[in-house]
Amino acid sequence: MDELTPLMDAPIPGQSLTAEIGSRPWQQPAKFTTAEEALEHYATRITNPRINDSLFDALEMGTPVASIAEIVVQNGAMEGMHTVDVSILILPIIMELIAYVADESNIEYSMGLDDPIDQDKIPESKIALAIKKARDKKPDTKETEPVMEPKEPSQNSGLMARRA
């Protein structure tokens, strides 16, 4: 009996992944319920000189304004400051506020929206590479090779028909 006792004291699998309902920030009502309240909160923080140093460092290192703003609002939603829909509403304003603060301090920055990716346009270099690969794989066909003729479909030629 004494040998089994330590085994029964082990944690239940998945116990570390559970928490009491309501103990997480996102399970509580948001601190700021409107976009205006959340924007006021972020405006005071972004214009704070103590925070500006790290913000300017990130901008000078080449981090786009769009990425910084997305991180800020997503973090606020995860901490329960506001809801995700408020994040979506205030994101463009936060981007403009960060750009304004950078302009006032003569910091060069990238908005991160300069070159949108066009999914329908394939670069000519990729087309040329694909053609080259296709030519390398396909040997020259000679007239002496037998030509495959298509078979006549049998009477049972449906999708689920048996093949002979």
Q: What confidence score (pLDDT) does residue 44 get?
A: 92
Dump pLDDT digits (tens) for 82-116.
999 999 999 999 999 999 999 998 988 888 876 55
- Low-confidence spans in the chain with pLDDT less than 50: none
Tell me the three-class secondary structure of the chain, residue by residue.
CCCCHHHHCCCCCCHHHCCCCCCCHHHCCCCCCCHHHHHHHHHHHHCCHHHHHHHHHHHHCCCCHHHHHHHHHHHHHHCCCCCHHHHHHHHHHHHHHHHHHHHHCCCCCCCCCCCCCCCCCCCHHHHHHHHHHHHHHCCCCCCCCCCCCCCCCCCCCCCCCCCC
pLDDT value, residue 65: 92
For the chain, the structural domain boundaries read 21-104
